[in-house]
Chain A
Amino acid sequence: MRWGEIIRRLVLVPPTLFGVAVVVFVLLRVVPGDPIAMMIPPGASEADIGRLRALYGLDQPILQQFASWLAQVGRGDFGRSISLRQGVSGLLLMRLPATIELALLATVIAVAIGALVALTGILLRGRRAEWAVDGGVGVLLAIPDFLWALILLLLFGVLFPLLPISGRIDPQIDLDLYSNFYLIESLLTGRFDIAFALLHHMILPALALALPFAAIVARLLKASLVEAEDQDYAQVARARGYSRPAILLNEVFPNALIPTVALGGVQVTLLLGGTVLVERIFSYEGIGNMAIDAVINRDFPLIQGLVLTFAVMFIALNLAVDLVVTLLDPRLRHG
């Protein structure tokens, strides 16, 4: 059974994360760039610099730094951000839900658009309009997420000012929520006014993230649909008197979904990576936005925390994709 393999993958997660942590840790300290130097005000004395350095443990040998950091992480403490002067864990917890919600919304939009385009494409199979669909998808693929973000910002934020272009929500709205998962919580508790306001702010960045992925989904799904429609079982279905749309939906689509998810599912990590720039462009308060400044400021604890968080999400995503593929394809379950 496939489940054994999934358990094996789960067991491999901690060592993988450990490896990532080591690499990041070493890399940060080996390359040039002194975080303390970045944050001290001009005119600080040597003693002050020394004290700050000791405060962040940067005067100790690397191995000792790593050991104490590991011990900290074991307790759930990711240390203190040098540039933002707050606890890293707190910062991450505060902003991670925003990014997760954005990524989720973007994925849903991307899958919906991609599926629609692919189904349209295959219904038009053999006709001249199919060429237009393929061409459109090609153009979509060429433009990366951050460019889309800028275009959408200009179009729908400035030229036709329909939507806001910064922040997660209008600062004047009173948010009486328990968690930082604003959208999910407001939807679940029926506070649709808040949810609506949130979506107002999220739709543009989510769309920017979604479009490149939608293009990938559309291309993959259409190719899979075309291949599946030529298979024997689909041809035999025609001899049973089913209409072509019915065959596409009932017989072909479930089969085409498998290679699409298998090959395209991993690309969702690209979507996650895109949050770094897109959140910045829309001043959206997620962890992607923090990442750029953290790197420029050489904020080691924050960078470490961020990299580990992204790594965990990537691994989780890959596992989830594999799980979904196993669910979709009965042949994998019974082997």
Chain B
Amino acid sequence: MADLVVAPLAAPPSRLLAGLKRGGARLRVGAALVAILVLVALLAPVLAPHDPLEQDLLSAQLPPAWMHGGDPAYILGTDSLGRCVLSRLIYSARTAVTVALIAAAFAAIIGVALGLFAGSFGGWVDQVVSRSIDVWMAFPPVLLSIVLAAVIGAGLTSVIVAIVAVDWTRFARVVRAETMVQLTRDYAAAARAIGLSRAKLLRLEILPNLVPLLVTLLAVEMGIAILVEVILSFVGISVSGDTPTWGSMIAEGRQIVYQAPWIMGFPIGCIIASVIGVNLLGDGLRLVLDPVQRS
């Protein structure tokens, strides 16, 4: 029955290729950075020269290999416990990507679900969801995530819950608005006239149209997830003690920043590269998908 309904189609492949060109430098650079990040995370055991947890107290606080006093065995130096900075950076990337993907996915699922409900059912469902969004957004996100993580206790779960709790509203608001707009379009009315149930309508017509928007939001969400994880691990309430994270490296590095600035410096560089990469990717995707959507 669905093929009888006239609906905006997903773009044919040739259109997509032209669209990819539209993304321009942003898309290319962003995609490259994100690809590097994901690859590093996946290939961590292969890439890391040392075990990130292995301590070598005799080689503590060694500067990077190219600086005076450096050791070529530890390319980027070591921290206070003699652990290889490069290896820790690589494994931290793994944590960051894991958290980012899972948290973004959950935030998307919850946010999209609530947004769809609010947008398609309207009435009091919409009111409840919208008010919740308003109240939720009134809380300062940093404080909220810290409170949540502190409350639930250390661990991957609490980090993910904190991120999802802070940012599901991002998806919900946008999806709700788009759903309402789509439902007022002619094709939706036609579909209902034919007898498509609301659920089917959502699944077959509206969701596919939301996909481009969601892809962009997911990219942004991953950037936010990375940052929140950094904050939480900096403060000390992220994944359990031993797992290397950029945030905990920064916290450690802050204490000895005059003596060994590289311990704090390198994780910062990684975070910036990741965040910029994810943002550029999101920007580029928006440029690619937006005009296709509208035409």
Complex: A in contact with B (CB within 8 Å): yes
> Interface on A for B, CB 8 Å cutoff?
31-33, 138-139, 142-144, 146-147, 150-151, 153-154, 157-159, 165, 269-270, 272-274, 276-277, 280-281, 291-292, 295-296, 298, 310
Would you give 15 A-B contacts (Cβ < 8 Å), ordered by A? A32-B151, A33-B150, A143-B276, A146-B231, A146-B234, A154-B257, A154-B265, A154-B268, A157-B257, A158-B258, A158-B261, A270-B140, A276-B142, A296-B150, A298-B150
A-contact bits for B272-285, CB 8 A (1 contact / 0 none): 10011001000100
> Nearest-CB distance from A305 to chain B (Å)?
14
User: Which residue of chain B lies nearest to A165 when distances are taken between CB atoms in the complex?
Assistant: B257
- For B148, give the chain A residue with the smallest CB separation: A31
- B264 close to A139 (CB less than 8 A): no
Given contacts A142-B275, A154-B268, A277-B234, 13 further A-B contacts (CB under 8 A): A32-B151, A147-B271, A150-B268, A151-B272, A158-B257, A158-B258, A273-B143, A280-B235, A292-B146, A295-B147, A296-B236, A298-B150, A310-B143
Asked if B227 is at the interface of the complex by the 8 Å CB criterion, the answer is yes
Given known A144-B227, A146-B231, A296-B236, contact A154–B261 (CB-CB < 8 A): yes
A139 close to B276 (CB less than 8 A): yes
A151 and B275 alpha carbons, distance in the complex (Å): 14
Q: Is B70 an interface residue (CB 8 A)?
A: no
Chain B stretch 109-168: residues in CB contact (< 8 A) with chain A: 140-143, 146-147, 150-151, 153
Task: Say whether B104 faces chain A, with CB atoms less than 8 Å apart.
Answer: no
Q: Which of B141, B223, B258 contacts A273 (CB 8 A)?
A: B141
Q: Among B142, B146, B151, which residue has its beta carbon within 8 angstroms of that of A33?
A: B151
Q: Which residues of A contact B276 (CB under 8 A)?
A: 139, 142-143
With both beta carbons as reference points, the residue of chain A lying nearest to B276 in the complex is identified as A142
The interface centre, meaning the residue of B142, B150, B261 with most chain A CB atoms within 10 A of its CB, is: B142
**Distance A292 CA – B233 CA, assembled complex (angstroms):** 12
Bound: A95/B275 CA distance, A: 33
**In the complex where A143-B272, A147-B271 touch, is A281 in contact with B151 (Cβ < 8 A)?**
no
Q: How far is the CA of A257 from the CA of B150 in the complex (A)?
A: 41
